[in-house]
Amino acid sequence: MSEYAALNQSPVETAASAPDQAVPHVHEAHSPRRKRRLGHFGEWLILLLALLALVGATGTLFLIFGERDFAGHIYPNISVRGLDLSNYSATAARTVLEQQYADFLENPVELVYGEQRWRPSAAQLGIELDFDSALNTALTAGRTGTRAENAQTVAAIWEQGLEVPLHVRVDQAAMQQYLLMVAREIEAAPGNADVHMQGPEIVVTPEEMGTQLLVDETLHEITVSMQSLVPQPIALRTRTLTPVVRNSDIAPVVADLEHLLDGPLMLTGTAGECAHTCTWTWTPEQIAGWVRLERATDANGRPVITPVLDQEKMYADLEPLAEVLREDGTLPRVNWNNGTLAIAQPGIPGLGLNIALAVERMQTALVEGPRTLDLPLMGIQPPVNETNLHTLGITSLVGSGTSSFRASAGYRITNIRAGAGQMHGLLIPPGAVFSFNNSLGPVTGSRGFVPGLAIVNDRTQKEWGGGLCQVSTTMYRAAFWAGLPIVERHEHSFRIPWYEELGEPPGLDASIYTGALDLRFLNDTGGWLLIQTWVDLNRQRLSFALYGPPTNRTVTMAHKIISRTPRPTKPVYVNDPTLPRGYFRQTDYAQIGMIIETYRVVRQGEQVLWQDTFTTNFKPWPNIYVRGTG
Res 51: pLDDT? 56
The C-alpha atoms of residue 416 and residue 189 are separated, in whole angstroms, by 89
Q: Please name the residues in contact with 365: beta carbons below 8 A apart, sequence gap of 6 or more.
A: 265, 371, 372, 373
Lowest mean pLDDT among 180-184, 404-408, 512-516, 520-524: 512-516
- 465 with 413: CB under 8 angstroms? no
Res 58: pLDDT? 52
Res 7: pLDDT? 33
Per-residue pLDDT band for 579 (boundaries 50, 70, 90) equals confident
Res 27: pLDDT? 35
Res 134: pLDDT? 95
User: Does residue 30 register a pLDDT over 60?
Assistant: no
Res 403: pLDDT? 97
Res 23: pLDDT? 31
The C-alpha atoms of residue 355 and residue 288 are separated, in whole angstroms, by 19
Res 18: pLDDT? 30
Q: pLDDT of 165-191, one tens digit each?
A: 999 999 999 999 999 999 999 999 999
The C-alpha atoms of residue 618 and residue 492 are separated, in whole angstroms, by 7
Q: Please name the residues in contact with 414: beta carbons below 8 A apart, sequence gap of 6 or more.
A: 448, 449, 450, 452, 467
Per-residue pLDDT band for 26 (boundaries 50, 70, 90) equals very low
Res 53: pLDDT? 53
Q: pLDDT of 378-395, one tens digit each?
A: 999 898 999 999 999 999
Q: Radius of gyration of the chain from Cα atoms?
A: 62
The C-alpha atoms of residue 536 and residue 404 are separated, in whole angstroms, by 9
- Residue 566 DSSP symbol: P
Res 8: pLDDT? 33
Q: pLDDT of 320-375, one tens digit each?
A: 999 999 998 899 999 999 999 999 999 999 999 999 999 999 999 999 999 999 99
Per-residue pLDDT band for 408 (boundaries 50, 70, 90) equals confident
- CATH number of the domain at 261-380, please? 3.10.20
The C-alpha atoms of residue 621 and residue 587 are separated, in whole angstroms, by 12
Helix (H) or strand (E) holding 618: strand 607-618
Residue 491's nearest CA partner among 508, 516, 466, 479 is 508
- Residue 311 DSSP symbol: H
Res 402: pLDDT? 98
Per-residue pLDDT band for 45 (boundaries 50, 70, 90) equals low
CB crowding 352-372: b at 16 or more within 10 Å, else e: bbbbeebbebbbebbeeeebe
pLDDT, greater one: 17 or 127: 127
pLDDT, greater one: 514 or 549: 549
Res 497: pLDDT? 85
Residue ranges of the chain assigned to CATH 3.10.20 = 261-380
pLDDT, greater one: 42 or 538: 538
Res 46: pLDDT? 65
% of residues, the chain, pLDDT over 90: 77
Helix (H) or strand (E) holding 222: helix 215-225
Q: pLDDT of 48-99, one tens digit each?
A: 555 555 555 555 555 555 566 788 899 999 999 999 999 999 999 999 999 9
| CA atoms 535, 539, 540, 546: torsion sign | negative
Res 2: pLDDT? 43
User: Does residue 32 register a pLDDT over 60?
Assistant: no
**pTM over cut 0.85:** no
Helix (H) or strand (E) holding 66: helix 32-69
Per-residue pLDDT band for 305 (boundaries 50, 70, 90) equals very high
Res 585: pLDDT? 87
Q: pLDDT of 421-464, one tens digit each?
A: 999 999 999 999 999 999 999 999 999 999 875 555 545 556 66
388 by Cβ neighbours in 10 Å (0-12 / 13-18 / 19+) ranks as exposed
Q: pLDDT of 126-153, one tens digit each?
A: 999 999 999 999 999 999 999 999 999 9
Res 109: pLDDT? 96
Per-residue pLDDT band for 574 (boundaries 50, 70, 90) equals confident
What's the mean pLDDT when you consider all of the chain?
88
Angle at 615 between CA 614 and CA 621, to 5 degrees: 140
Res 49: pLDDT? 57
Number of CB atoms found within 10 A of residue 568's CB: 16
